[in-house]
Chain A
Amino acid sequence: DAGITQSPRYKITETGRQVTLMCHQTWSHSYMFWYRQDLGHGLRLIYYSAAADITDKGEVPDGYVVSRSKTENFPLTLESATRSQTSVYFCASIEGTGTEAFFGQGTRLTVV
């Protein structure tokens, strides 16, 4: 099915563990984004990518790592999870600047 999918939908992990959130899109959109959503903060940009092998930091990149070896995949890794990274994470893609952003259904991550 065409679209953008995130996995897992829910994840509980312990402080200090490494965890990777997956994002896959089927449109071959150039741009992809990772956001975190916390109450009162809307969507805050963690990292974004303009194309394969091109990534850049957003507003809140500390503690996160991304890669984009293939256009369709944009995984987000928390190298050593902290409780402050408990959040809902959304992946999104766009075809070009200013075009509609399509979002995955989100990953609810809890760090205990």
Chain B
Amino acid sequence: TQLLEQSPQFLSIQEGENLTVYCNSSSVFSSLQWYRQEPGEGPVLLVTVVTGGEVKKLKRLTFQFGDARKDSSLHITAAQPGDTGLYLCAGANSGNTGKLIFGQGTTLQVKP
């Protein structure tokens, strides 16, 4: 069974601080995605990383895929209250079945 462990599960910080969220597994994934979810809505894709060691940037968000394609991180620089939400990592099964599994999520609160 493939599992994705996210840490931390909860994070409360002040505006302007930096933070990193981790997504770890003992399994290899063909790709890894990060989603953000607002209350009452479904998750929305932020980024997909495919190549081991890949780094992608989305404004103040930096995503990295581990060299072995087993882990990923999301770093937010100078967090803003608008970054508040639930962040989820998701791994695509390397067996090409389409199966997509999610981590437990990280709830981020950024205080003004």
Please report A residues at the B interface, Cβ cutoff 8 Å.
30-31, 33, 35, 40-45, 48, 50, 56, 58-59, 90, 92, 94, 96-106
Contact = CB atoms under 8 A, between A and B. Distances in A.
B104 A42 contact: yes
A50 B97 contact: yes
B96 A97 contact: yes
15 contacts: A33-B100, A43-B102, A45-B99, A45-B100, A59-B101, A92-B42, A92-B100, A94-B100, A96-B98, A98-B33, A101-B43, A101-B45, A101-B100, A102-B42, A104-B42
A57 to B, nearest CB: 10
A44 B92 CA distance: 14
B62 interface: no
A56 B44 CA distance: 24
B6 to A, nearest CB: 7
Interface string B31-64: 1010100001111110010100000000000000
Q: Most chain-A CB neighbours within 10 Å: which of B43, B92, B105?
A: B43
A103 B42 contact: yes
Given A94-B98, A105-B40, 9 more contacts: A33-B100, A42-B104, A45-B100, A59-B101, A100-B33, A103-B42, A104-B42, A105-B42, A106-B42
Nearest to A29: B98
Given A50-B98, A100-B48, A40 B42 contact: no
Interface string B5-44: 0100100000000000000000000110101000011111
B74 interface: no
Contacts of B1: 59
A103 B43 contact: yes
A78 B88 CA distance: 26
